[in-house]
Amino acid sequence: MNATLRRFKQPALVAVIAIAGLWLVFNLIAFAFAEAPLATLARAWGGTWGTPYGIGQVLFKATPLIFTGYAFHIAQRAGLFNIGAEGQLAAASLCGGAFAAQLPASTPMPLALLSALLVGAIVGALVALPPAVMRARLGVHEVITAIMMNRIVDVLVPFTVATVLGASSLRTADVVSGATLPRLDKVFVSLSGSAASAAFPLAVALVVALYFWLGRSRPGREMQWIGKSAEACRAEGISVRNRLILAMLLSGAFAGLGMSATVLGYKGYFEVGLGSGAGFAGIAVALLGRGHPIGIVLAALFFGTLEQAGLAINARVPKEAMTVLEAVAIVLVSAAGRVSISNTEQPANSASNEGDSSKSEAQGGGPDGPEKGSTRQSPKTKPDTEFAEVTPS
């Protein structure tokens, strides 16, 4: 019972500290721009969860963050730091959008959607391949090579759109109708006008499916073991190099699937800058979500809410203030998590110490163990005949 309460006490403590700190910083920001905090909060609520349109926009902005956040977690569980999701998403969006635009107009919807998503996942994995190989084979840190790939993609994407595709407006042609994801307002009429699409439930379903696959399959478990101790896995005969490459490729492919929200579910084409920032924001989502699907989705919704709230209050408070709140949330959650973990470790250590002392007392010699030179033995019971012996007269 105590263990169950302790397990729920830690997340509750982290949430309370984070909410209190965010409210304090939000008040300071509102006062800095001569605005009433409650009025500013009401305006932010009205532009997000207070209206159906705001809800739809929050879902739309959270969808690519779910993909990039869980993509970062896939690499992190193997001990890798995939900072290249930004470039992986951009390259996948360009190639997936250009491919879907070249499909015949009569392509059936399932085939068009699956092929466009597959192209996006493959391109995202290909962008992640150089950092993966250089880390696994040469020992080059993936942060350096992933940043390098981000810069290469930043240059190649507008060059490809303008020169290779010949688009003067820096956008691809429209994708075929069969490759577009349906908007959620077709099911929920109240969301009419928002950019929310079927990419949101798709993202949630894929995250849950991949979570169970990573936890129950042998490759998924081996990637997690490598993240904890690569040397121990190597001693057990696990191919550390191959598992590191697999983890990075899976991470890049999942980041590339984020194009489903921006290209296939929203614009219907790719333009330069579409989805920018989602790759870096995914790192914060992964840190707040702590690798669990529910945590990843909630963290993505939180950041999507802050982004949409910034647009709602932009007339009175700059939308960049919400970026400050995002940074504060990361710091508060990290700090509160460390404090709660240290508090839960102390009772466990004291309990183990008490168990060791009681075990030593049972062996003899008190809590400090047997005394030096003492040979305590159990007394031997003498037979009764020794005391009943009679001397003859």
Can you give the pLDDT of all 393 residues of the chain as single tens digits?
A: 566 556 556 666 777 777 888 889 999 999 999 999 999 999 999 999 999 999 999 999 999 999 999 999 999 999 999 999 999 999 999 999 999 999 999 999 999 999 999 999 999 999 999 999 999 999 999 999 999 999 999 999 999 998 888 767 788 999 999 999 999 999 999 998 899 999 999 999 999 999 999 999 999 999 999 999 999 999 999 999 999 999 999 999 999 999 999 999 999 999 998 989 999 999 989 988 888 899 999 999 999 999 999 999 988 888 888 888 888 888 887 776 565 455 555 555 555 555 555 555 555 544 444 444 444 444 444 444 444 444 443
Residues 6+ apart with CB under 8 A from 228: 79
- Give the tokens for residue 328: 């504060």
Looking up residue 289, the CATH number of its domain turns out to be: 1.10.3470
Asked whether the beta carbons of 285 and 66 are under 8 A apart, the reply is yes
In single-letter form, the type of residue at position 139 comes to G
Of 108, 73, 2, the closest CA to residue 351 belongs to 2
**C-alpha separations of 222 from 36, 167, 200, 213 in Å:** 53, 45, 30, 12
Residue 345 belongs to a domain: no
- Give the tokens for residue 355: 């168990």
Asked whether the beta carbons of 257 and 88 are under 8 A apart, the reply is no
Residue 259 belongs to a domain: yes
Of 64, 73, 83, the closest CA to residue 274 belongs to 64
H or E element that contains 27: helix 2-32
> What secondary structure letter does DSSP report for 82?
-
**Dihedral of the alpha carbons of 386, 388, 391, 393, in degrees to the nearest 10:** -170
At residue 171, what are phi and psi to the nearest 5 degrees? -150, 155
Residue 9 belongs to a domain: no
Residues 6+ apart with CB under 8 A from 58: 48, 49, 301, 304, 305, 308
Q: How far apart are CA 261 and CA 58, in angstroms?
A: 12
- Give the tokens for residue 23: 């409210």
**C-alpha separations of 366 from 292, 357, 363, 374 in Å:** 47, 8, 8, 12
First to last CA, the chain: 75
Q: How far apart are CA 334 and CA 342, in angstroms?
A: 13
Q: How far apart are CA 302 and CA 49, in angstroms?
A: 11
Please tell me the predicted confidence (pLDDT) of residue 2. 60
In the chain, how many domains are there? 1
- Give the tokens for residue 172: 């691809």
Q: Which residues in 60-146 belong to E strands, given as ranges?
A: none
Q: How far apart are CA 198 and CA 117, in angstroms?
A: 13
Asked whether the beta carbons of 154 and 87 are under 8 A apart, the reply is yes
Asked whether the beta carbons of 260 and 181 are under 8 A apart, the reply is yes
Q: State the angle between helix axes of 2-32 and 320-363 in degrees (0 to 180), rounded to the nearest 10.
A: 150
Residue 96 belongs to a domain: yes
Q: How far apart are CA 389 and CA 225, in angstroms?
A: 72
Please tell me the predicted confidence (pLDDT) of residue 378. 46
Q: Which residues in 91-176 belong to E strands, given as ranges?
A: none
Range of the domain at 241: 58-309
Residue 146 belongs to a domain: yes
Residue 10 belongs to a domain: no
Residue 111 belongs to a domain: yes
Residue 228 belongs to a domain: yes
